[in-house]
Amino acid sequence: MDKRRLMLGNEAIAQGLAEYGCQIATSYPGTPASEILSSVAKLKNKNDLSMHVQWAINEKVAFEIAYAGSMSGLKSAVSMKQVGLNVASDPLMSAAYMGCKGGFLVISADDPGPHSSQTEQDSRMMAMIAKIPVLDPDSPEQARQMIDYGFKLSERFEIPVMIRPVTRVCHTRQDIEPGMICTNPKTPDFEKNPARWAATPKFRFQLHKELEKKLEAISQFPDTEPICRNPETKSKTAVVASGVSGAHCLEIMKESGLFNSISLFTVVQPYPLHQSFITNILSDYEKILVIEETMPVIEMQLADRNKVMGKMTGHTPRVGELLPENVEQIIFEFAGKKYEAESFKPVPGRRPTLCAGCPHRASFFAIKKAARKGIYTSDIGCYTLGLNLKAVDTVLCMGAAISQAAGFYHSYKDEKKRPDIVATMGDSTFFHAGVAALIDAVVQDVRFVLVILDNRTTAMTGNQPTPDSGFGACGEKLNKVDISSLVKGCGVKFVEEGDPYDTRAFTSLMKKAVKYSKETGPAVVISKRPCLLDPAQKKLVQDLPEYEVGDECDGCAYCIDNFECPALILHEEKGGQPSDQADGETDKKASEKKVSIDPVMCSRCGVCVDVCPKKSIREKNQV
């Protein structure tokens, strides 16, 4: 029987972790890495594995938990998206010096493009800074295999190993034949050794020396050597590529025939690059093209600028994803072959928007009413899309909405007219990086309102639980930390909760909070309403009344411009309700425009009822 299963790259990574005996797996959700941990959780439940699987409060905490697992001799892995690695970079740098015991994998998923991230940073560069080896998979199947030799490398040299998949590995599905799940767990055995695990600067120097020795040995490790894809091809020119770029190169060179005239090397371990490979390729070839995403990690190590072409020489782009069409053009130019491809003008797509009936939209509408002309700092999550509503002015990184609000307050403090400052932040982000910033704001008496958009989940990345959810990655029951008590604990005196669907009450709550922040001190409003994608919320919706737009609508488009619920559709032509034409031919212009509600999209939140200034939206069948 065909044992192959269709697996997402992230599922393949999870499968590898379960097959090769990982016992501690931690993560903080972030696209494109999120499905790694949720897939590990599924495997744990299905196979009843003795494994600790958890969503941690942030990447730094996730890293440290998994690292201690490795110090106890257990195979451990922490996964995150590339910007998450910034948060975990503090323990990463130190862990590289101290090394590890049980195999320890740092899986950091990059997002060239970027498709769903703030930056296009290259985690391989972070591995270089930390001085740990990094493996760059070209497909889900290779990612699964890399878990095996990643663990081997890590245990053999007692060093953390980074696996760096990109979006095109994480979110690619491939047919994969799964192997046996490992079911014989090791027992933990932490050997005390303060000179290593609690090293003072003097010992750190020693550890640093040892680290250099390890790297030298790793650059000779046979299992991770670059692979020559066409040893039968004899050539003076070579293409060197890593990760998904290598997969593009392989396919394009085979299809175009260049496979028979140019050598192709695919690099498995971009750092440290194998010493023999560096020496040989630089002596055997006259021209070498390096193709990699997104920074010149391999290119830098091939230090002969006369022979080696890539980002540093301007032969390959320094920004953006290397799509196969880009790779094709680069290789053709390198080969001196004519590149014939039609160039296409990109057709502008639709911008993403919050779901119809999303509670965030309702919160933003109230915020704008309560603090007109305010400065709106915001953060990372679905609610970044508050941009469309002009209710988001800044988005920097996780947790920055609060500290930036403080910065704006301090900048404007001595002005005669101080703007109102409203920060918005999701519940998961608040736990992740908001708490420390809030304490700081209380200490400095920052006059602002923080609106915590509490939708009970980490929505953008696929609804992972938060510390307030009361359950964990495998569905197990956990303790809860209540946001409101936490905020009070930070020293905030004004803490109130409200339901954003109750538009009027919520708007007056917002007004009260803005007033308090001006006169007294920092105020926090917790906007409570579950995400629409939350299954509990979905059931609720079924019993709600439907809404319709009545004849009072004159097509002013106020709701479209200021509320932009995707279920509200503006009909520019007479399309609205043609039958209405008969009774009011007087104002022809007005009758040409009208809004209607798309019943399939509408989630019956009813918020638009209070948005329309003409009071034309109402419950269906109401007399």
Partner 1 sequence: MSLPVRQEIVISGLGGQGVLFITRILAQAAILKGYPVFTSETHGMAQRGGAVISHLKVGDFASPLIRPSHADGLISLTPETFAMHSNFLKEKAWAVVNGQKKQSDKVLPEAEAKTCFFTQADVLAQKIENARSTNLVLLGYSLQCLSDRFFCDIDDAKQAVDIILSSRFKMQNTALKAINAGYDASMKENKT
> Least separation, in Å, of the C-beta of 337 and ligand SF4?
54
Local structure of residue 580 (DSSP, 8 states): G
Q: Are 449 and 510 in contact (CB under 8 A)?
A: yes
Site size for ligand SF4 (CB under 6 A): 27
530 in contact with ligand SF4 (CB under 6 A): no
Binder to partner 1 among 180, 347, 536, 582 (CB under 8 A)?
Answer: 347
Q: Which is nearer to partner 1, 324 or 521 (CB)?
A: 324
> Which strands make up the sheet holding 375-378, listed edge to edge?
394-395, 375-378, 421-426, 449-454, 523-528, 494-498
Query: DSSP state, 430?
Result: I
Task: Choose between 121 and 517: whose C-beta lies nearer to partner 1.
Answer: 121
- Provide the Cα torsion 119, 62, 57, 120; round to 10°: 0
Is residue 372 helix, strand or coil? Answer: coil
| Separation CA 485–CA 481 (nearest Å) | 8
* Helix, coil or strand: residue 520: coil
Among 54, 567, 576, 591, binds ligand SF4 (CB under 6 A): 567
DSSP structure class, residue 318 = S
Residue 565 binding target from ligand SF4, partner 1, none, CB below 5 to 8 Å by type: ligand SF4
Please check whether residue 402 is in contact with residue 437, taking contact to mean a CB–CB distance below 8 angstroms.
yes
607 binds ligand SF4 (CB under 6 A): yes
Q: Which does 252 bind (CB under 5 to 8 A by kind): ligand SF4, partner 1, none?
A: partner 1
Phi, psi of 52 (to 5 degrees): -95, 120
Site string for partner 1, 588-607 (x = CB under 8 A): ------------x-------
Contact status, residue 27 vs residue 1, Cβ threshold 8 Å: no
Instruction: Name which of residues 136 to 195 contact partner 1 (CB under 8 A).
Output: 138-139, 167-168, 171-175
Name which of partner 1, ligand SF4, none residue 558 binds, using a CB cut-off of 5 to 8 Å depending on partner kind.
ligand SF4
Q: Which helix (H) or strand (E) holds 547?
A: strand 547-549
Pairing of strands 161-163, 134-135: parallel
Q: 25 contacts which partner out of ligand SF4, partner 1, none, CB within 5 to 8 A by kind?
A: none
Contact status: 484 vs ligand SF4 (CB under 6 A)? no
If the CB atoms of residues 347 and 582 are measured against partner 1, the closer one turns out to be 347
CA-angle at 59, arms to 22 and 203, nearest 5°:
80
Give the total of residues touching partner 1 (CB under 8 A). Answer: 47
- Residue in 356, 406, 446, 490 binding ligand SF4, rule: CB under 6 A: 356
| Residue 353 touches which member of ligand SF4, partner 1, none, C-beta under 5-8 Å by kind | partner 1
**Is residue 355 involved in binding partner 1 (CB under 8 A)?**
yes
Residue numbers 536-565 binding ligand SF4 by CB under 6 A: 547, 549, 553-559, 565
Site string for partner 1, 307-346 (x = CB under 8 A): ----------------xxx--x------------xx-x-x
CB of 182 to partner 1, least distance (A): 25
**What backbone torsions phi and psi does residue 612 show, to the nearest 5 degrees?**
-65, 120
Nearer to ligand SF4, 474 or 560 (CB): 560
What single string gives the DSSP state of each residue in 518-563? Answer: HHTS-EEEEEE---TTSHHHHHHHTTSPPEEE-TT-----HHHHHT
Which of 564, 263, 506 is CA-nearest to residue 363? 506
**Angstrom distances, CA of residue 414 to CA of 186, 320, 408, 409, 418:** 62, 42, 11, 9, 8
Site for partner 1 in 105-134 (CB under 8 A): 115-116
Q: Which positions touch ligand SF4 (CB under 6 A)?
A: 356-357, 547, 549, 553-559, 565, 567-568, 595, 597, 602-608, 612, 614, 616-617
